[in-house]
Amino acid sequence: MKRPTSQDVAKLAGVSRAVVSAVLNRTPGIRVSPDRRQAVLDAIAQLGYRVDAQARGMRTGRSRTIAAYGNLDNPMFLQVLQGAQQSCMQAGYQLLLYGKNGQPQEQEELLALYQERRIDGLLTKDTTGFADEAFAALVQQAGLPFISVEGYPDEVNVLSILMDYGESIRMALDYIWQRTGGYPVYIAAYHGKPGEPRWGDRHRLAAYEAWMGERGESPRIFRLSLDEPEALTELMAGLPQPSSVLCNWFAASALVYRAAAGLGLAVGRDLYVMSADNTAQANRYMVPSLSSIEVPYAQMGAAAAERVIRLAEGREPSDAPPKIWIPPRLAPGESV
């Protein structure tokens, strides 16, 4: 009892293999009468026939598979995958997972996947503002349909799915103001040494300054090294009660909670806290639960996959804009 082939189906249905193929792919140029068509479908069902994807792929040159590349340590990547998978399934594509390990050869291996005809397109989940022009050039040269989630915000030659970080800050500020009537301190946390803030943080900062400026308030920005969280306690000890703080990042909010506990301040009463993202998906487990802005990664992944597939199939209009913007989402908690 071996695998049935299109040959077997053709014989059982009393037609040629070409008709079987035509029925399955509605091939233009080959018309099939309804009854013959039905005979083919019956034969397929009876035998449990399945097209050999490899044989089809070899003939057509496409694999109907795209790869998703990202950091498997980051839980947000899972959301991207979820969205991408959704889009793939709707389009009849498969999703190949390729985890980032930080090895330099990985980029070549991604290209190799394409050259081996294992994938038709590539989607990467990059860190905010990431850009690797050398890689982008290689990809373009190879002709690999490519789209980045959160990367290459300023490279017009690379297609990206982006979130509007400025809007996320305005959304948070409006929410805090509506709930408390106060103007928050902004905490910009960073890892390691203070450097030039990255793309996302630049836009967040600018939005904060503009929002405060429009209301005649002077911005109060506190730069916090995640490696020296003690500084936070000093800052917070000097704030009147109640005050509100808006953190650029979940990790900073966690430190604020910790410092508040040390000072005997009750979050949600003596101190309002909001996070401009939900990187760790831990917001709702915080006590009290942390209000935040969410980056809609699933939606971004879905949009990315959809677009890569269009690209791979040559259905993307060449004048399509390189960047697609997805709006942030407000996730209220108990901390504001």
Task: Name the site residues for DNA (rule: CB under 7 A).
Answer: 3, 5-7, 15-22, 24-25, 27, 29-33, 36-37, 49, 51-52, 55-56, 58-61
Tokens coding 114: 């394409």
Tell me: does residue 58 bind a copy of itself (CB under 8 A): yes
Distances (CA, A) of 190 to 193, 255, 321: 8, 12, 32
* Partners of 69 in beta bridges: 98, 124
Tell me: does residue 271 bind a copy of itself (CB under 8 A): no
Among a copy of itself, DNA, none, residue 17 binds (CB under 5-8 Å by kind) = DNA
Residues 37, 42, 46, CA angle at the centre, nearest 5°? 150
Tell me: does residue 269 bind a copy of itself (CB under 8 A): no
Q: What is the per-residue binding string for a copy of itself in 206-245, x denoting contact by CB under 8 A? A: ----------------------------------------
Please state, as a whole number, how many other Cβ atoms lie within 10 Å of the Cβ of residue 132: 17
Closest CA to 244 of 189, 292, 185: 185
- Whichever of 54 and 105 has its CB closer to DNA, that residue is 54
Q: Which stretch binds a copy of itself (CB under 8 A): 31-39, 65-73, 130-138, 189-197?
A: 65-73
Q: Which of 96, 231, 235, 330 binds a copy of itself (CB under 8 A)?
A: 96
Q: In this structure, are residues 82 and 95 in contact, taking their beta carbons and an 8 Å threshold?
A: no
**Upstream peptide bond of 242 is cis (omega within 30 degrees of 0):** yes
Distances (CA, A) of 130 to 81, 133, 250, 283, 293: 19, 10, 19, 25, 21
Residues 6+ apart with CB under 8 A from 215: 183
Smallest distance from the beta carbon of 312 to a copy of itself, in angstroms? 15
Tell me: does residue 73 bind a copy of itself (CB under 8 A): yes
- Whichever of 23 and 205 has its CB closer to DNA, that residue is 23
Rounded CA separation 205/173 (Å): 12
**For binding to a copy of itself (CB under 8 A), which residues are involved?**
3, 48, 50-55, 57-58, 63, 65, 68, 72-73, 75, 77-79, 81-82, 85-86, 94-99, 112-113, 115-118, 250, 254, 257-258, 261, 280-282, 285-287
